[in-house]
Amino acid sequence: QVQLVESGGGLVQAGGSLRLSCVASGSIFTINDMGWYRQAPGNERELVASITSGGSTNYVDYVQGRFTISRDSAKNTVYLQMNSLKPEDTAVYYCTARIRTYSNSVLRYWGQGTQVTVSS
């Protein structure tokens, strides 16, 4: 059993910052790529940022230069530092990770989501 637990969401004014954290726990042998998705009401879930086990990162255009994804392999944790937040960043943010378990299964797991609300 593997679980991903997000934290750090909340209400912030436009121009402010938030730092999201996601901790993976359970029967984890290795964690491959990790990432953050977000979904606003009426919209599809979309990739925000991803990071590979080697540290290579990728961002969607509208967060480039404002958001930074990072990971701490020793803590099985991925972070999303969000600066210069805009109202259009308002969404539920989901953590995801591709994980090999001790039972030798490789699966993609998802967190429960954390709400980010940016007021104008």
- Burial (0-12, 13-18, 19+ Cβ within 10 Å), 15: exposed
Q: Specify whether the CB–CB gap between 98 and 106 falls below 8 A.
A: yes
Q: Specify whether the CB–CB gap between 44 and 35 falls below 8 A.
A: no
| Per-residue b or e along 79-88, where b marks 16 or more CB atoms closer than 10 Å to that residue's CB | bbebeebeee
Two tokens, residue 71: 């990971």
Phi and psi based region of residue 87 (left: phi greater than 0; alpha: psi -120 to 50; beta: remaining): alpha
**pLDDT reported for residue 87:** 97
Per-residue pLDDT of the chain in tens (120 residues, 90 and over written 9): 899 999 999 999 999 999 999 999 999 999 999 999 999 999 999 999 999 999 999 999 999 999 999 999 999 999 999 999 999 999 999 999 999 999 999 999 999 999 999 999
Q: Which residues contact 17 (CB under 8 A, 6 or more apart)?
A: 81, 82, 83, 84, 85
Residue 103, helix vs strand vs coil? coil
- Burial (0-12, 13-18, 19+ Cβ within 10 Å), 61: exposed
